[in-house]
Amino acid sequence: MSHLVKGAGVALVTPFDEENQVCYTSLSKLVEYQIENGADYLVVLGTTAEAATLDSEEQKKVLQFVIKQNGGRLPIVLGLGGNNTTAVCLTIQNTDFTGIDAILSVTPYYNKPSQQGLVAHFKEIEKVSPVPIILYNVPSRTGVDLSTESILTLANYSTKIIAVKDGAGSLDKCMHVTKKAPAHFIYLSGDDKNTLPLLSVGAQGVISVAMNATPKSMSGLVHYAMEGKYNEALEIQYRLLSFMEWIFEEGNPTGIKAALHSIGILQNCLRLPLIPASEALYEKIEEAINHHNIL
């Protein structure tokens, strides 16, 4: 099943309007923009989607809208995780998985479990999930780092656990995981800027933030690298490099929403505690879009 999440996946933002409501017109435009420009799959309700500020009803509506808009054209991955194992499992058991191909489940945050606790958490999720699971390791947000040993333990525990999205960007970890993991399990970059280096040592794709605005370029970079065409991939990497740094300068999805506003996909609206990009950052992002051939 890991073939479903190889390549270039996009961590979709959630567009809002000036009344702070989900803007489904913009969400429709965003989904079509990804499908038309090379995305391999869509990730819904991840961190980039500001899922923490969507209530449960909004989350259901966003998910169902994306499933309907997609119309079965691309695989869909649902962000579904948390720091209360029992609550996560109950949510999974009460979710309609029609149209959902896998879940992306983050390591528990704030309570900072041990490696043994992390492994036990994901084993409980594996028991109840009807679809494959992508482990999501993002220590900069959660305060815990899923170790190489824990990733491999989970990869060997079940063929239902098909991948890890690693936001730590560690070449060492990528190499050790891809060297030792079972055949069904793949390593995915969770850090746009380090995607090409990671692909060169065994990663098989990315779940990308930058791709919201640059699906054609980002998917091109990934596909070239996976075909061994590193010169072509590197040329795109260097065109995108400053942009990939700037969109995270004031947090995510602040920068990428500024970019999407600049190209006319959505309004530049976020939910507190996040706020729109500063004027200085917006101008840098707009400059990259207009003059650096990144789209």
3-state SS, residue 257: helix
* pTM value > 0.85: yes
Residues 71-117: pLDDT tens digits?
999 999 999 999 999 999 999 999 999 999 999 999 999 999 999 99
Which of 108, 40, 52, 116 is closest to 77 using CA atoms? Answer: 40
Rounded CA-CA distance 222/81 in Å is: 27
pLDDT at 270: 98
Which one of the listed residues 60, 68, 110, 136 is annotated catalytic? Answer: 136
Give 147's contacts (C-beta < 8 A, 6+ positions apart): 115
Give catalytic status of residue 230 as yes or no: no
Which domains does the chain carry? 2-227 (3.20.20.70)
Lookup result for tokens 């989904």: 31
Residues 170-229: pLDDT tens digits?
899 999 999 999 999 999 999 999 999 999 999 999 999 999 999 999 999 999 999 999
Residue 147 has pLDDT above 90, yes or no: yes
Residue 169 has pLDDT above 80, yes or no: no
Lookup result for tokens 């050790």: 176
Which one of the listed residues 165, 193, 257, 284 is annotated catalytic? Answer: 165
Q: Are 147 and 175 in contact (CB under 8 A)?
A: no
Which of 267, 223, 274, 273 is closest to 253 using CA atoms? Answer: 274
Which of 87, 8, 10, 2 is closest to 260 using CA atoms? Answer: 10
CA distances from 103 to 1, 43, 95, 160, 161 (A): 12, 9, 11, 11, 10
Would you list the DSSP string of 13-69?
---B-TTSSB-HHHHHHHHHHHHHTT-SEEEESSGGGTGGGS-HHHHHHHHHHHHHH
What residues does 135 pair with on adjacent strands?
105, 164
pLDDT at 3: 84
Residue 26 has pLDDT above 90, yes or no: yes
Rounded CA-CA distance 200/40 in Å is: 19
Rounded CA-CA distance 209/46 in Å is: 10
Residues 132-144: pLDDT tens digits?
999 999 999 999 9
pLDDT at 292: 84
pLDDT at 2: 65
For the chain, first and last CA: distance in Å?
A: 30
Mean pLDDT of the 114-137 span: 98
Lookup result for tokens 């065109």: 239
pLDDT at 293: 86
Q: How confident is the model at residue 168 (pLDDT cuts 50, 70, 90)?
A: confident
Lookup result for tokens 């702070």: 20
Residue 43 has pLDDT above 70, yes or no: yes
Residues 268-295: pLDDT tens digits?
999 999 999 999 999 999 999 998 889 9
Residues 51-80: pLDDT tens digits?
999 999 999 999 999 999 999 999 999 999
Rounded CA-CA distance 243/210 in Å is: 8
Give catalytic status of residue 24 as yes or no: no
